[in-house]
C-alpha cells in the first residue's frame, strides 16, 4: 500500500529481530514466516528466475542472521534494510548476466498449482513476468517495490536513492511500457 | 489542491486503486474523482485494466524444506547461552579470586594495627592478648 509515511516511530520488526539475534528459536521462525515470502517475491520479480531468487533469498537471510545480534533500533526500518540487501544481491546477479551473457534466457518461473487459478491466468502471469523482465531495471524496481511489495512512495524513493518525483516518473514510464507490451490483455472492458 | 494534471500523474504512476495512492494526496485525489468522474473515466479504466493483468503475476510460496534450511542457519540460543554462562562463571571465579587475594593482602597490612586498637585497654597499656610478649616480660 502506498503511503506518505516515512520511518515510523517504532519499527514493528525491531523486537523480533533483536530476539532472533539472541537466538530465540520462536523469533527466528516468526521472522522467516513474516519475511521470506516477501524477499523471495521481490527477488523473483527482479530476476525472473525462481532458482536464482531462492539463492538470493538464502543469502539475504544469512546476512540477516549475521547482523541480527547487532541490530539497533532507530535507523532504517528492518523491512527497508531487508529490501536493500535483497536488491543489492539482485543487481549483483543482473550485472553478472550483462558481463557474461547466457545462451538461454532465464527460466520463466512456474507459479505452481493453485486451485483457483486456471491456465489462462498462468499464461497471463508468464506474460507479465516477461514484460517485467523487458523493462529497464530501474523501472522494474520501481514497479516491483510500489505495486507488488506495496512500499510507500517515500520509502521506495529513499530505498532507490531518488526523489519521489523521479520515482513517479519511473513508475509512469514502466506502466506505459507494460500497457504497451500487454495491450491485448490489458484492455478496458 | 488536486488538479487534473496531478490526478492523471498519480493514476499513471500508482494505478487506479485509491489504496495505492500516496496517503498525503489520497483524500484530495478521491474528492477530485468524485467531483469529476467523467473527466478521468477513460484514464482510470485503462489503469484498472493494467492493474488486473499485473495481479495475475503471482510468485510461488517457499517450500518447507527451504524455510527449514534458513531457520537451521540462524543463531542458536543454547550455544549463545552456554557461552554467556561460561563467561559469567569465569568472571565470577576471577572476581572471587581477586577478592580473596585482596582480603589476604589487606589482612597482612592492616591487621596488627587494627587488632591492637581493638584490644587496647583504657589505661593505654597493652593487654596480654595484644602483646603476649610484654605480658611475659612484665611477669
Q: What is the mean pLDDT of residues A56-82?
A: 92
Percent of chain B with pLDDT over 70: 55
What are the extents of the domains in chain B? Answer: 4-55
Q: Above 50 in pLDDT, residue A33? A: yes
Distance from the B84 Cα atom to the nearest Cα atom in chain A, whole angstroms: 11
Lowest pLDDT segment from A53-57, A165-169, B87-91, B130-134: B130-134
Q: If you average pLDDT over every residue of chain A, what do you get?
A: 88
CB-nearest partner of A50 from B42, B60, B71: B60
Helices and strands, number each (H, E), in chain B: 6, 0
H or E element, residue A40: helix A25-47
What pLDDT score was predicted for residue B130?
33
Alpha helix segments (H runs only) across A69-161: 78-99, 119-134, 137-143, 153-160
Report A:18-57 residues touching B (Cβ under 8 A): 20-25, 28-29, 32-33, 36-37, 40-41, 44-45, 50, 54, 57
Rounded Cα gap, residues A150 and A156, in angstroms:
9
Q: Which of B70, B71, B78, B85 to mutate to test the interface with A (most CBs of A within 10 A)?
A: B70
pLDDT in tens, A163-189: 999 999 999 999 999 999 999 998 876
pLDDT band at A30 (very low <50, low <70, confident <90, very high): very high
Contact A175 B13 (CB under 8 A): yes
Burial annotation A8-39 (CB, 10 A radius, 16+ → b, else e): eeebebeebbbbbbbbbeebbeebbeebbbbb
Contact B24 A4 (CB under 8 A): yes
Lowest pLDDT segment from A109-123, A159-173, B81-95, B123-137: B123-137
pLDDT in tens, B64-120: 999 999 999 998 875 545 555 556 666 666 656 666 566 555 555 544 444 344 434
C-alpha cell at A130: 516477461
Amino acid at each position: 500500500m502506498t503511503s506518505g509515511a516515512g520511518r515510523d516511530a517504532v519499527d514493528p520488526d525491531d523486537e523480533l529481530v533483536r530476539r532472533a539475534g539472541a537466538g530465540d528459536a520462536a523469533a527466528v521462525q516468526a521472522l522467516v514466516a513474516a519475511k521470506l515470502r516477501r524477499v523471495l517475491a521481490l527477488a523473483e520479480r527482479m530476476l525472473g528466475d525462481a532458482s536464482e531468487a531462492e539463492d538470493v533469498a538464502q543469502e539475504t537471510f544469512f546476512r540477516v542472521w549475521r547482523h541480527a545480534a547487532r541490530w539497533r533500533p532507530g535507523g532504517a526500518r528492518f523491512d527497508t534494510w531487508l529490501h536493500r540487501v535483497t536488491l543489492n544481491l539482485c543487481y549483483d546477479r543482473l550485472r553478472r548476466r550483462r558481463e557474461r551473457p547466457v545462451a538461454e534466457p532465464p527460466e520463466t518461473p512456474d507459479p505452481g498449482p493453485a486451485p483457483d487459478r486456471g491456465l489462462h491466468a498462468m499464461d497471463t502471469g508468464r506474460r507479465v513476468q516477461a514484460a517485467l523482465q523487458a523493462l529497464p531495471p530501474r523501472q522494474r524496481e520501481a514497479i516491483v517495490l510500489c505495486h507488488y511489495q506495496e512500499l510507500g512512495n517515500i520509502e521506495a524513493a529513499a530505498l532507490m536513492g531518488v526523489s519521489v518525483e523521479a520515482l513517479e516518473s519511473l513508475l509512469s514510464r514502466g506502466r506505459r511500457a507494460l500497457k504497451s507490451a500487454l495491450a491485448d490483455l490489458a484492455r478496458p472492458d | 489542491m488536486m488538479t487534473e494534471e496531478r490526478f492523471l500523474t498519480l493514476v499513471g504512476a500508482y494505478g487506479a486503486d485509491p489504496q495505492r495512492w500516496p496517503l498525503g494526496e489520497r483524500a484530495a485525489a478521491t474528492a477530485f474523482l468524485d467531483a469529476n468522474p467523467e473527466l478521468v473515466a477513460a484514464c482510470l479504466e485503462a489503469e484498472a485494466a493494467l492493474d488486473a493483468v499485473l495481479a495475475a503475476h503471482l510468485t510461488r510460496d517457499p517450500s518447507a524444506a527451504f524455510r527449514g534450511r534458513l531457520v537451521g542457519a540462524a543463531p542458536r540460543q543454547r550455544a549463545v547461552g552456554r557461552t554467556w554462562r561460561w563467561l559469567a562463571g569465569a568472571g565470577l571465579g576471577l572476581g572471587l579470586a581477586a577478592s580473596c587475594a585482596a582480603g589476604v593482602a589487606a589482612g597482612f597490612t592492616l591487621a596488627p594495627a587494627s587488632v591492637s586498637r581493638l584490644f587496647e585497654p583504657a589505661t593505654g597499656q597493652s593487654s596480654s592478648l595484644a602483646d603476649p610478649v610484654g605480658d611475659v616480660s612484665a611477669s
